[in-house]
Amino acid sequence: MKNKKLGLNSRMIHGGEFENPLGSATVPIYQTSTFIFKDADHGARCFSGEDDGYIYTRIGNPTIHALETMVADLESGSTGIATSSGMAAVNTLYMALLSKGDHIVSSAAVYGPSRVVMEQHWSRFGVESTYVNTANIDEVKAAIRPNTKMIYVETPANPTMDITDLEACAKLAHDNGALLVVDNTFSSPYLQRPLELGADAVFHSMTKFLNGHADIVAGMIVTREKELGKKLRSMMINLGCNMDPHQAYMVLRGIKTLGIRVERSQQSAMQIARFLEAHPKVEWVKYPGLESHPQHELAKKQMHGFGSMISFELKGGLEAGKVLMNNVQVAILAVSLGGVETLIQHPASMTHSKVSHDAKLKAGITDGLVRYSVGIEDVEDLLEDLKQGLDRI
C-alpha cells in the first residue's frame, strides 16, 4: 500500500501532514499563539528558514498545517494556505497578484462580495475589472487587455449555475501572460479539481462543503506551483487573515465525511431538479445534471458529479418564490450552502443584494431566482416539503 496513492475518500480520512509523537488518532488542536524555541540559535534558524520549526500561529501551526496539506493534496496542488474566511482568501489573492494598473477579467455571476470588493475597493487602488459570462469563452477572449493579469472564474457560478470551460480559460490566460484563479466552493475537490485542468490557484470558502456543518467560517487557497504558494502565504501572513487552530480542527473533522455527504446530497439534488423541472408552477431550473442545462456536456467532462446546488424560478416570479421560501418546513431559509441541512434563499435580495441591479440582470441573476442547496435529509421529506410549499402558490 505504501507506494500506492490512496483514493480520495481514504485521503480525506488519513491525509494531511502531522507529526504525531503521542499517537493520537485525530489531529489535536494546538491552541497556542507562540512556540518555545530550544535555544536562541534555534529561534534564529526558525526565522531564517534553515529549520522548519513553528514560530507563531499567524505564520504556522501544526493543526492548520495538517489541514493545509490535506486540502492541497485533495486539490492536486503543491501548497495550501488556510485563511480566516473565504473572503480572506479572495482578498489575499487580489492583493498578492494585482497591482495598480492591472486588469482582471471575472465571471459576472460570482459570489456577490467577491465582485463588490473589486468594484468598490480594489478599484480605489487602480485595479481595473471587467465582468463577462465566462461560460462563453469568446466573451472572455474579447475582454482581455494587455494589462490583464488574472482571469477569475467561478464554476458552477453562484447562483446561475453556468459552467465555464476551465481548460480553455487556462490556455487563454497563459497565452496572454495572466493567471487563472478558480473559486471551487460550489464543487469541492471531490467533484472538480481545477489545478488538474491548468488553473494556477484555486480557493474555497470552506464554510461550505469542506466543513459542511454550518458551524464555522473558513477559507483555503491551493496553488499548483510552490513559488506562487510562497507569494500568497507571505501575503496572508502580512495581512493577518490566518485561520485559528480550532477552525482548522473543525474543518479537518468535516472533511472526513465530505465524500459521503457530497454523494448523498447530489443524488437527492438530481431527483429534486427533475421534480422541479416537471412541476407546472416552475418556469425554469438550472442544475448541471439536467440534460436541459446549457453546459450539461461540459459539466460531464469537467466535473466528477453534478453537485447539490440548484437554481430555479417560479412562474409567478419573486412573489411566488417568497411564498415558497416562507412555507418550506424542512429546508431552512438561510444563506450559505454545502451543509448537511438543506437551505433555500433569494440571491437578488440576500447574497447578491450589494451587486447593482443592472449587473445582476446582465449576469442572469433575475429577481425571481431562488437558490436551493440540497443537504443530506431524506429526499422524500425534501420533495414533500417543496410540493406542499408550491401548493400554496
Ligand X SMILES: *Cc1c(COP(=O)(O)O)cnc(C)c1O
Where in the sequence numbering do the catalytic residues fall? 58, 111, 183, 208
Residue nearest to ligand X (CB): 86
Count of residues engaged in binding ligand X, rule: CB under 6 A: 16
Q: What is the dihedral of CA 285, 288, 293, 297, to 10 degrees?
A: -170
Q: Name the minimum Å distance from CB 245 to ligand X.
A: 18
Q: Could you give the CA distance from residue 74 to residue 185 in angstroms, rounded to a whole number?
A: 13
Window of 65-73, 82-90, 133-141, 220-228 that interacts with ligand X by CB under 6 A: 82-90
Question: Residues 75, 304: contact at Cβ < 8 Å?
Answer: no
Under the binding rule (CB under 6 A), the answer on residue 111 touching ligand X is: yes
219 CB-contact burial (10 Å; exposed 0-12 / middle 13-18 / buried 19+):
buried
DSSP string of 198-245, one letter each residue: T-SEEEEETTTTTT-SSS---EEEEESSHHHHHHHHHHHHHHT-PPPH
Q: Maximum Cα–Cα distance for the chain, whole Å?
A: 74
Q: Could you give the CA distance from residue 200 to residue 131 in angstroms, rounded to a whole number?
A: 20
Q: Name the minimum Å distance from CB 383 to ligand X.
A: 25
Question: Residues 371, 331: contact at Cβ < 8 Å?
Answer: no
Which residues in the 198-257 window bind ligand X by CB under 6 A? 205, 207-208, 217, 219
Q: Name the minimum Å distance from CB 203 to ligand X.
A: 8
- What's the sign of the alpha-carbon dihedral 204, 163, 268, 159? positive
Q: Name the minimum Å distance from CB 90 to ligand X.
A: 6
Under the binding rule (CB under 6 A), the answer on residue 87 touching ligand X is: yes
Window of 179-187, 225-233, 263-271, 371-379 that interacts with ligand X by CB under 6 A: 179-187
Under the binding rule (CB under 6 A), the answer on residue 158 touching ligand X is: yes
Which residues in the 327-356 window bind ligand X by CB under 6 A? 337
Considering only 61, 148, 164, 185, the residue that binds ligand X (CB under 6 A) is 185
Q: Which residues bind ligand X (CB under 6 A)?
A: 85-87, 111, 114, 154, 158, 183, 185-186, 205, 207-208, 217, 219, 337
